[in-house]
Structure 1
Amino acid sequence: MANPQSAHMDAEAFLAWETEQPEKHQFVAGEVFAMGGASDRHVTIAGNVFSALREHLRGGPCRTFIADMKLRVEGADAFFYPDVMVTCDSADRGREQYKEAPVLVVEVLSPSTEAFDRGAKFAAYRALDSLQEYLLIDPASGAVELYRRDPENHWVLYTHAPPDAVDLRSVSLTLEGASIFEDAAPGPEHETPAEA
């Protein structure tokens, strides 16, 4: 995440303020963080996952969203922009600015955000009762890590090396490894300043 802006505000003030901003911001406990652009590979991988999920879920009760939709994590007093998320919650259909009840969240890692995605952001996501799976994709190595909530409310890690398929039980989809990295072969990642 980029450095926090000087403004300190509550969630409602943030929502009103951000609608007037030219760029996206994440919000965590009163602090606002500007987000930068992502690399070609990052965007391509997120797009591949979004496309597979959108096609699979078309016509059903679940909706798939890509990077421009906010996710509110009320328990962490935060708003994030996941790379991809799926919600099947009827109340989310009526929320225009953000969603609150995803079953699946996907983050494509970048050098500047990996520690946050694995640490504080994942800790916040775990506060979402609806969330069943958290998928992390590493463009550099091609590794894919799936965290799944078990019946005892523990998060279990399932690792996948390329080109292994990933079984997304939350949405009943087997995501082929080759489709994740189509037109975005794994390799060293060149950092874009303030990548999201």
Structure 2
Amino acid sequence: MGLQIPSYPELSVEDYLAGEQQSEIRHEYIDGQVYAMVGASDRHGLIVNALAFALTPAARRRGCQLFTSDMKVRLEIGGSSIFYYPDLLLSCDGDDRHAYFRSSPCLIVEVLSESTQRVDRQEKFLSYRQIPSLQEYLLVAQDERRLECFRRSRDWRGEILTQGGLYLACLELELSLDEVYQDLAN
């Protein structure tokens, strides 16, 4: 006799979006199934805040919208709908203004943790690369000074930075690693 694995009915995109508006817990959505999000550490929060603080002036100058953690990105891949909550999402497309998600970001950032880094490096990276507007994908370590940047213009080959700065084409901005990690020194 085989192991019985419970199956759950698929949730429609409309029901998912309606449920997220009322839920106290955030969920990611992959082709009809929802997955609860875990909480973040203080280091994670400080890095996300530092990134938002550093990027906001350039985003405003360029007419872009910058979101941290609570804005979903919507993907359509192979007939499947997917909604993720990136740690930071930047959309510069004036037509990309749905109230609860964005579909055309030019920059996505994920802050790595032990529990999420496999998904951020593999599943999400492969999915995010399918977004035509995405120019850069950043993975930021929270336990060491290390930033990995993947760019469409470099065929998604990664570059690793442990010091200095990084030019973000989407914002025409040089981002300093000192800015990203400044609050962790305290």
Q: Which residue of 25, 28, 32 maps to 2:27?
A: 25
The one-letter code matched in structure 2 to 1:132 is Q
Match of 1:44 among 46, 59, 62: 46
SS at match of 1:107: strand
Number of matched pairs: 178
Q: Which consecutive residues of structure 2, in runs of 5 or more, have no partner in the other structure?
A: 1-6
1:137-176 alignment, distance < 5 Å: 137-150=140-153, 154-161=155-162, 163-176=163-176
Residue equivalent to 2:15: 13
1:37: how far off? 1.4
Q: Is the Cα contact below 8 Å between 2:50 and 2:183 reproduced in 1?
A: no
TM (normalized to structure 2)?
0.90
Q: Specify the alignment match of 2:127 in structure 1.
A: 124
CA gap 1:16/1:147 in 2 versus in 1, 3 angstroms: same
Q: Which amino acid aligns with 1:158?
A: E
Q: CA deviation at 1:77?
A: 1.6
* Matched position secondary structure for 2:56: helix
CA RMSD of aligned residues (A): 1.8
Query: Comparing both chains, which one has the higher relative contact order based on Cα–Cα distances under 8 Å and sequence gaps of 6 or more?
Result: 1
CA radius of gyration, larger in: 2
In structure 2, distance between residues paired with 1:115 and 1:25: 18
Letter in 2 for 1:66: T
Q: 1:60 aligns with which of 34, 42, 62?
A: 62
Higher helix share: 2
CA offset digits 1:81-133 (Å, max 9, x no partner)? 1111110111113x101111000001100000000000001111011000000
Matched-pair identity in % = 37
Q: Distance in 2 between matches of 1:130 and 1:29?
A: 22
Where 1:23 maps in the other structure, the secondary structure is: coil
Q: Work out whether residues 7 and 32 of structure 1, in 8 Å CA contact, stay in contact via their aligned partners in 2.
A: no
Report the equivalent of 1:192.
none
> Separation in 1 of the partners of 2:46 and 2:20?
26
Find 2:106's aligned residue among 103, 117, 123: 103
User: How far apart in 1 are the matches of 2:58 and 2:173?
Assistant: 7
**Distance (whole Å) between structure 1 residues aligned to residue 139 and residue 93 of structure 2:** 23
